[in-house]
């Protein structure tokens, strides 16, 4: 049985991390704003936070919170299908984000109404291989839109 993953962040970043920890296939502590080459690590990296998309009179409007998820997985320099399997693991995480949007299951941002969560690309990026050639980093970017 997988041990419950914990979150020490607060605010919108903390709420987002709590939301992402619902993904049942996440097998690692979800790091924050870090880059690791250790196999099996996952990280949420903030890009934009609380950026206005549309501002209305009275100070309310729609904001966005953009983030990237990165996963470090085993890498094969040979001819096996291991790299394709790793790519699919990351694609499955992206598909889970799409499913949450279809189900209107969103992170809970205090004092706000979350309008959507979406992938900003249709497949993960291959973001490089560590110096030893044993692990590869895959990334994808997402956006949460919310009314505040």
Residues 47-75 pLDDT 10s? 878 889 999 999 899 999 999 999 888 88
* Contacts for 56 with CB less than 8 Å, ≥ 6 apart: none
Q: Is 133 a residue whose pLDDT tops 50?
A: yes
DSSP per position, 55-111:
E-TTS-EEEEEEEEEEEEEE--SSSSSHHHHHHHHHHHHHHHHHHHHHTT-----TT
Q: Residue 40 has what DSSP assignment? A: T
Provide mean pLDDT across the span 78-107. Answer: 91
Question: Mean pLDDT in the chain?
Answer: 87
Most confident residue range from 43-57, 92-106, 127-141: 92-106
Above 70 in pLDDT, residue 77?
Answer: yes
pTM of the model: 0.85
By CB atoms closer than 10 A (0-12, 13-18, 19+), residue 69 is: buried
- Residues 33-47 pLDDT 10s: 877 777 878 888 888
Structure tokens at 117: 């969560």
């Amino acid at each position: 049985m997988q041990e419950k993953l914990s979150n020490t962040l607060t605010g919108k970043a903390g709420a987002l991390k709590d939301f992402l920890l619902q993904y049942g296939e996440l097998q690692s502590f979800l790091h924050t704003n870090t880059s690791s080459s250790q196999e099996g690590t996952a990280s949420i990296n903030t890009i934009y936070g609380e950026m206005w998309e549309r501002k209305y009179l009275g100070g309310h409007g729609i904001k966005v919170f953009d983030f990237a998820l990165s996963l470090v997985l085993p890498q094969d320099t040979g001819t096996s299908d291991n790299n394709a399997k790793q790519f699919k693991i990351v694609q499955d995480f992206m598909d889970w984000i799409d499913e949450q949007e279809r189900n209107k299951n969103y992170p809970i941002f205090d004092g706000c109404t979350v309008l959507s969560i979406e992938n900003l690309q249709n497949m993960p990026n291959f973001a490089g291989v560590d110096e030893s050639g044993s692990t590869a980093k895959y990334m994808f970017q997402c956006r949460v839109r919310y009314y505040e």
